[in-house]
Structures are given as structure tokens and as C-alpha cells.
Structure 1
Amino acid sequence: MTVKPHRPLALLLCTAMALALGACGKEPDSPTASNEATLTGPDAKPGLVASDGKLVLPVIAGRPAAVYFTVRNDGAEPVTLAAVSILGAGKAEMHETKGGSMGKVDSLPVDPGASVVFAPGGLHVMVFDLPAALKAGGKAELTMTFSDGDKLSMPLAVEAMGGDMGDMGDMEGMHH
């Protein structure tokens, strides 16, 4: 059974949190007690929460974008993240960078009490065939699908590539 949050209220709250987080100029690297208040988002079922979502546009149009976020399982049972999608995009895939190369991740377990952080240089989502209307300063929507069929959606702040993105631009496999 999928529990669906009241979408307008959830999106309003998530947007407010994203603006508040962006205003402070520092994003958490991983979920800790010091950033506990920033870890909010619509729930798929009790205890499953997503936060800190952003979509980073490619420097060159037509190349894939990257998505970063945190998903936390405060529930009593393990869950498995089985797929991701971005509203309006042609395709989205979970990837992981290890030892200088990037590979596709088909599924990702999230144990009770654990968080998984999608961040530059590690786990991330590659997004292909972006909608032309998607621009820096705008919003996008990420939907995560779990192996039991539950879904969790969250808003993403859309940003232009800049700052420290690691070596992702030079990595083999980035040009799909």
C-alpha cells in the first residue's frame, strides 16, 4: 500500500525548506544530528524521507544532468531503491563512481536507521534528454520507486554546473 502525502502542502513545505537551505549557503554532506532539521520531505510510508535534492544542469546542452539527494529509512524494515525518474526527462539512471570510473546501479538497499547520500564523486543520478524548459533557478521533480512498489517524490532545485563537481566532466562513460 502506498501512502500518498497531500502533494500541494508537501511541495510547499519542501520548497520552503529548499529555499531556507539554499539561503544558508552550506549543504550537508551527510545526514547528522547537526543537519537533522533539513532532512524533510514527502513520505512514501512512515519513516522513509528524502531531502537535499538538486539537479545540476550540464555545461553543454544535450549532455546528461546529475541529481544529488539524501534518502533516509527510519522505518523498521529494509527497503530497496529500484528506480528513479525525473518528470519530463527521457531517462534517469542511478550511477556510482568508484576508482575513477562510473557504472550503473540497478538497485540500492537502504537498511533501517540508515541514510544513503547521492553526492558528487559517489552515488548520483544521471538524467538524459532533459526538457528544454528546465533552467537554472527552476524546479524539477524526482520520483524514487522502491522494490515493493512504493514511490517517494521530492522537488529538486535546478542549478547550473559550477563550484566543486569533482572530476565528473572528464569521466569515461559520461557521454551517453
Structure 2
Amino acid sequence: MKPNRPLVLIAAIALAAGVGACSQEPDSPSEANEATVTGPVAKPGIAASDGRMVLPVVAGRPAAVYFTVRNDGAEPVTLAGVHVSGAGKAEMHQTSGGSMAAVASLPIAPGASVVFAPGGLHIMAFDLAETLKPGGTAELTLTFSDGDKLSMPLHLESMGTDAGMEGMHH
């Protein structure tokens, strides 16, 4: 039995149009595709969790950001930069012996987790927007030395007695 040429031609055109439509990028961000169009791509093998930002009691002071980052990949990675939405500047810091120093980069071995917590590694967020309020959210973006990024939400909290910042010299 011979194939019907017009029918084969129509099927080929339909298939080509369907494949072409699948590979096109959206013309503009929408609610459904905004994250993939404007947001950073998560670094493969890297996960972050438990993000929170402790807001200062006194306006004009920095906030502290805490979270855990885990390297489930087979290769070491280096955390090279941080950004917090609503902050003019953010820096990684390490507290040791009651004083704090900036950390330029942080290597993370395969299979390792690094905890950013009160009294140790943390992020200081400076020049905070007035829109950052307890109970709200912000976004933390981690940038790695190879340019890959990972973003996560931060729950905004008020500084309390258990926030872990007491005794540190800023």
C-alpha cells in the first residue's frame, strides 16, 4: 500500500511546527514562567535550606542571615559571593573569639554541609530596605566561583534574645 503523499506532507509539517514550538523561549515573563526567565539556575548537586534573616532592632544596623548549604556533587565547589534582596550589600562573615571578620570565599567539599549559624559563619546584610519586615520574606542568592547560582527564600524574623548576635563586636 502506497502512503498518501499529501497526508505525509501535512504530518511532517505539523511535527516540525510542534517541535519548533517546544524549543521557543517565551516572549516575555509571565506568572507561570517568570522564575525560569529571570531567576538564577540552581547549581547541580548543591542544595540550601533553613534560610532566615534576623532583622536588627535599631534601624540602620545590619541584619544577620543564617542557612545551611550542602554539596551533594562529586566535585568541590567554592561559594564566592552572596546577595540578599532588599539589602544594599551582603557579605559572608565568620565569628571567632568574640570578633567578626569578612570571608571572601568558602570551599565546600563533596558530601559536606556548611551551616551558617549564630556564633559562626553568617551573612551580614547592610543598607536594608524599609520594606523588610518580620514575618515577610526575602531572597538569598549564592554565587559560586564558576558563576553558577542558587537562590532560596529567607524568612524574616525580629532580633530576640536567642538570635545569637549578642557578644559579637560589629
Give the shorter-chain TM-score range.
0.7 to 0.9
Which residue of 1 is the match for residue 93 of structure 2? Answer: 95
**Aligned CA distance change for structure 1 residues 116 and 104 (closer, same or farther; 3 Å):** same
Map 1:154-173 → 2, pairs under 5 A:
154-166=152-164, 168-172=165-169
RMSD value, Cα: 1.8
1:165 deviation in Å?
A: 2.7
- Unaligned stretches of 5+ residues in structure 2: 1-32
Larger Rg: 2
Runs of 4+ in 1 over 6 A off after TM superposition: none
Instruction: Name the SS for the 1:90 alignment partner.
Output: strand
Map 1:1-176 → 2, pairs under 5 A:
44-166=42-164, 168-172=165-169, 174=170
TM-score by length of 1: 0.72
**Aligned CA distance change for structure 1 residues 7 and 119 (closer, same or farther; 3 Å):** farther
TM-score by length of 2: 0.75
1:137 deviation in Å?
A: 0.2
Number of equivalences: 135
Instruction: Name the SS for the 2:87 alignment partner.
Output: coil
CA deviation digits over 1:45-101, x for unaligned, max 9?
A: 321000000000001111000000000000000000000011131100000001111
Could you tell me which amino acid in structure 2 is paired with residue 110 of structure 1?
A: I
Distance in 2 (alpha carbons) for counterparts of 1:169 and 1:62 = 17
Contact 1:43 1:49 in 2 (8 A): no
Which is richer in strand?
2
Distance in 2 (alpha carbons) for counterparts of 1:7 and 1:45 = 18
Could you tell me which amino acid in structure 2 is paired with residue 44 of structure 1?
A: A
Could you tell me which amino acid in structure 1 is paired with residue 127 of structure 2?
A: D
